[in-house]
Amino acid sequence: MTKNKVVQNKITNFKIGDITVGEDFLLIAGPCSIEGYEMASASAKATKGSGANIFRGGSFKPRTSPYSFQGLQQEALEILLRLKQELNLVVITEIMDPRLINSSLDFIDIIQIGSRSMHNFPLLKEVGMIDKPVLLKRGFQATIEEWVHSAEYIYKEGNSKIILCERGIRTFETYTRNTLDLSAVPIMQKLTGLPVIVDPAHATGRKDLIPSMCKAAIAAGADGLMVEVHPTPDTALSDPEQQLNFAEFDSLMQELIPIINFFRKN
């Protein structure tokens, strides 16, 4: 593998609000897409109440079809800011266009680089030049080495506040949406020293598999999880089949917290 310069074999801790990334387990939860203030507010209150420490909500949605719901965009950013202020939240959303980075900084705490944007090198360079944490998702067809190099693009520009996210890769298997590569968790931690979280929703595309994959991710040493939660998943404007409702998420969190505490202490 090509030699990399990302902080090798050294966990870099940094603060986001009251959270210390690299020490605290990241529990990121919220709807795939922000569909309006009321649903986002209900989701934020429910996920925080169940133990999540970061609220996620899609603003600009990269969709395979140009006719699918593309997100509320600027309106969604304004909703996230309002919720951040009202509920004292740490919030994350995906930004796809380098031209939108600077205008989005005041609305969110963490910039997400989605799977489709992992190879958007102008975008990676742009987020590398700002003092804002970046969550870099693995491309769904990316190798480990390609993922490392994408992190390098951010790090090379001066931003070391990077969180990596394994979210499944495309293989010949079609029973699940993607194939969750849990071996990537310890591999990327060893190669980069950066925190690595897991997104089981996009990895499997099935809500019934989320609990078991969350537990497996924790056992594999993941530094956090990202789970999609919606008030009424069946009516969601994007990815209804992989979002938990509030009761399901609360039940999951009751199962996960003792497991997280056990593995984080051992």
> What are the sequence ranges of the domains in the chain?
14-265
pLDDT in tens, 154-183: 999 999 999 999 999 999 999 999 999 999
* Contact (CB, 8 A) for 203 and 244: no
The pTM score is 0.94
**Longest Cα–Cα distance in the chain:** 48
Whole-number pLDDT of residue 265: 74
Residue 187 has pLDDT above 60, yes or no: yes
Whole-number pLDDT of residue 124: 98
Average pLDDT taken over every residue of the chain: 93
Residue 102 has pLDDT above 80, yes or no: yes
Whole-number pLDDT of residue 61: 79
Burial environment of residue 3 by CB neighbours within 10 A (0 to 12, 13 to 18, 19 or more): exposed
pLDDT in tens, 200-220: 999 999 999 999 999 999 999
Whole-number pLDDT of residue 1: 37
Residue 137 has pLDDT above 80, yes or no: yes
Does the domain at 14-265 match CATH 3.20.20.70? Answer given as yes
* Contact (CB, 8 A) for 155 and 6: yes
Residue 7 has pLDDT above 80, yes or no: no
At 95, list the tokens. 């930004």
Bridge partners of residue 14, in order along the sequence: 21
Lowest mean pLDDT, pick from 7-16, 172-181, 231-240: 7-16
Residue 259 has pLDDT above 80, yes or no: yes
